[in-house]
Structure 1
Amino acid sequence: MDQVNWGIIGCGNVTEVKSGPAFNKVENSKLVAVMRRNAELAADYASRHNVPKWYADADELINDPDVNAVYIATPPDAHEALAFKAMQAGKPVYIEKPMGRNAAECDRINAESERTGVPVYVAYYRRALDYFLKVKELIDQKVIGDIRYIDICLQWQPYEEETGANPKPRWRVDPAVSGGGHFHDLASHQFDFLEFALGPIKSARGFARNQAGLYEADDIVVANFEFESGILGKGSWCYTIDKGQREDKAQLVGSKGRITFSFFEKFDIIVETGEHTEKLNIPYPQHVQQPLIDLIVRDLRGEGKSPSTGQTGVRANRIMDWITQEQ
């Protein structure tokens, strides 16, 4: 594939800045069509982003001869069916994370990719961001010695639409659509990066509960996990705390020191070894998916390999399945 002409299915908020504009900023890549079920919103997006074509039907976009790669940016419940249609049309797919609602859906997508020979990529873009590549570099260089364990804490207050007299929670906390709650949306990024940086997780156990009753999905999860290397991990995720207790913190503890970093909200990496402390500040780029999209385009052109594929993407779902299964 020489020129990669993308079509977006589901041009919602995630595509406004994080991903959509990046397709036109990567060499040998162009965004040529977008689709949204609401025709007016699809037309508006196309107009604002200078996209030549828009559709209100996914099949029409997939069958557009000018589109040779498809970015699926819908909620997870539609990922499997749309990926099948695109692959059967011979068009590589780039799927928003999490790859599916559960590992079984991801496995079926990967099986169809193998059957058709059409590649699948997943939007775990931390694998290509300088901030997280620096964390991995520090690990690989053994700046803090041998890694002993990782400790994750993510706690956020409820979103405004989840509280009040007339709450209207969004699809992310509808398990039928998302596969779970905020844990599935956010922890998927965390587990994907941890496997990228530390190797495969071989087992994970946890408890997932709904304490506040704001929606159907779990709102608190605690877990322990073990890497094949012997590194241990623990994490806690709570989405119903007071705003003043909001925290996004990960600590890698090694035999000679500690690395503290954030998965979502901060750009500092703090490295502590003995009596020495160093703070590194590495901001995200304007379009956070652009570095990964660049690598995917290079992969499709035969110029390199994407670090995020369907085979790596299923892993986060499998780990979350292990943790949230009924106890």
Structure 2
Amino acid sequence: MVKARPRLTQRAFLAGCLVLVPLLPLALMQGKAAPKEVIWGIIGCGDVVEKKSGPALQNAPRSRVAATMRRDKAKAEDFARRHGIPRAYDDVDALLADPEINAVYIATPPGSHLEIALKVAAAGYPLYVEKPAARTAKECETMERAFSKLPLFVAYYRRAYPRYVALRDALRGGRLGTIQSVSYVFARRPAPPRAGDWRHDAERSGGGRFVDIGSHALDLIDFLLGPLERVRASATGPAGQVETRVEMHFRIVGTSIDGTATWDFEASEAEDLLIISGSEGSVRVPAAMNGRELVWPDGVESYDPPDPVQLPLVTKVVDAILDGSECPSTASSSTRTSRAIDAALGHYYGGRSDAFWARPETWNVV
């Protein structure tokens, strides 16, 4: 295991200060002159890094990538070569020992997040991790504790979309009056099975596609309206397999806002619609995950999606690491989303506070 580096000479003093100052710039945490940029080491080089996060980490102001890691060294070297990254590794510890990096991004399947994150924390680096942060809320809580004195951010990147920032500001400004309810419907036609797809392997993913895709919508509702509570849900799926349909009812904490949401990954027609209703009308958000429009009672507003999609959030992550500024997607907000997922799927898996994927009774195996 990589040991914490001696450069963190002021950590003992700063640990007490963190009670009053929740997030300190990287320079103060490391007890050295302020760095001018965040220099990333990337762990995992799959599709999300190719299309969403990798370009953002390289193009955000004051951000660049110095090293990447994948267990397949040839694939790691290919990724590095194509993206102009100086070094490639096939071992997590080797990447963490790279002398240039000062922050880490994890983009492996969720089943490996906790183990890798604990190594990153021991090495003393800020962390940006793909969503969901881990398989269960319990694993997320363990990560939070490990990073109690280090920045930890989660890639729920829609929290920084101009479309959703504008929507939240409008709701808070009273454009719909008093918010009364929220509903969300997601439906997708069945996809042909792919060999080795981790999204269908509960040990690697924490569940089915609801955990991977549904987490975005749950986190978005948390961002727009507030944390979820009183979650009641049912989930169904083929015998011995991960869930394919989820129905949820919930309340927004501290309000009288009632919510419903459904996800169906074996539907006959596709749908993706968020509706928020208030005393003065409703706003419809068609193509909620990847669209452009907000349909208000008095007209339609359109927002271009970011390119790359993670750029606005990565920019805020970099600013938070370097300057101590606020980032909208934190460890605590991510853990709330994972708690909602656990509440929705707890009955289906017979509990989610342990390694439920390894229990024979989870899958009715005798």
Offset of residue 129 of structure 1: 0.8
Tell me the TM-score normalised to structure 2 length: 0.83
| Equivalent of 2:335 in 298, 305, 314 | 314
Q: Shift of the alpha carbon at 1:303?
A: 5.0
Secondary structure, in 3 states, of the residue corresponding to 1:284?
Answer: coil
Matched, 1:152 2:164: no
Once the two structures are superposed, residues 67-95 of structure 1 have per-residue CA deviations (whole angstroms, 9 ceiling, x without a partner) of: 11000000000000111001100011101
Q: Secondary structure at the match of 2:147?
A: helix
RMSD across aligned positions (CA): 1.4
Per the TM alignment, residue 161 of structure 1 is displaced from its structure 2 partner at its CA by 2.3
C-alpha distance in structure 2 between counterparts of 1:251 and 1:80, whole Å: 34
Instruction: Assess if the C-alpha contact under 8 Å between 1:8 and 1:33 holds in 2.
Output: yes
**Structure 1 counterpart of 2:118:** 84
Which residue matches 1:219? 244
Partner of residue 126 from structure 1, selected from 150, 158, 176:
158
Per-residue displacement from partner, 1:37-72 (whole Å, max 9, x unpaired)? 111111111111100111111111112121110000
From 237, 249, 261, give the equivalent of 1:235: 261
> What secondary structure, in the 3-state scheme, does the structure 1 residue paired with 2:105 have?
strand
Identity of aligned residues (%): 34
- Give matches, 1:1-327, under 5 Å: 1=26, 2=35, 3-114=37-148, 117-161=149-193, 168=195, 170-211=197-238, 216-228=241-253, 229-242=255-268, 245-261=269-285, 262-272=287-297, 276=298, 278-302=299-323, 304-326=325-347
Instruction: Give the structure 1 partner of residue 14 of structure 2.
Output: none
Q: Could you tell which deviates more after superposition, 20-29 or 91-100? A: 20-29
Secondary structure (helix, strand or coil) at the match of 2:251 reads: strand
Q: TM-score, normalised by structure 1?
A: 0.92
Cα displacement (A) at 1:191: 1.4
Equivalent position SS for 2:333: helix
Task: Work out the CA distance in 2 between the residues paired with 1:152 and 1:169.
Answer: 30
Q: Whole-Å Cα distance in 2 between the matches of residues 127 and 281 of structure 1? A: 17
Q: Distance in 2 between matches of 1:118 and 1:138?
A: 33
- Gap runs ≥5 in structure 2: 1-25, 27-34, 349-366
Query: SS state of the match for residue 295, structure 1?
Result: helix
Q: 1:169 deviation in Å?
A: 6.1
2:40 and 2:55 map into 1 onto residues whose CA distance is: 11
* Partner Cα distance (1:236, 1:306) in 2: 29
Cα distance change on mapping 1:169 and 1:241 into 2, 3 Å: farther
Query: Which of structure 1's runs of 4+ aligned residues deviate more than 4 A?
Result: none
Shift, 1:198, TM fit: 0.8
Number of the residue aligned with 1:165: none
When residues 239 and 169 of structure 1 are mapped into structure 2, their CA distance, relative to the original with a 3 A threshold, is farther
* Cα shift at 1:263: 2.6
3-state SS, counterpart of residue 51 of structure 1: coil
Asked if the contact 1:250/1:260 (under 8 Å) is kept, the reply is yes
Amino acid corresponding to residue 261 of structure 2 in structure 1: G
Unaligned runs of 5+ in 1: 163-167
Distance (Å, rounded) in 2 between the aligned partners of 1:73 and 1:66:
20
1:249-297 Cα deviation digits (max 9, x unpaired): 011011111111133232111112xxx3x11111211111111111111
Count of matched residue pairs = 312
Separation (CA, whole Å) in 2 of partners of 1:10 and 1:169: 16
Alignment-mate amino acid for residue 302 of structure 1? D
1:202 deviates by 2.0
Instruction: Work out whether residues 217 and 289 of structure 2, in 8 Å CA contact, stay in contact via their aligned partners in 1.
Output: no
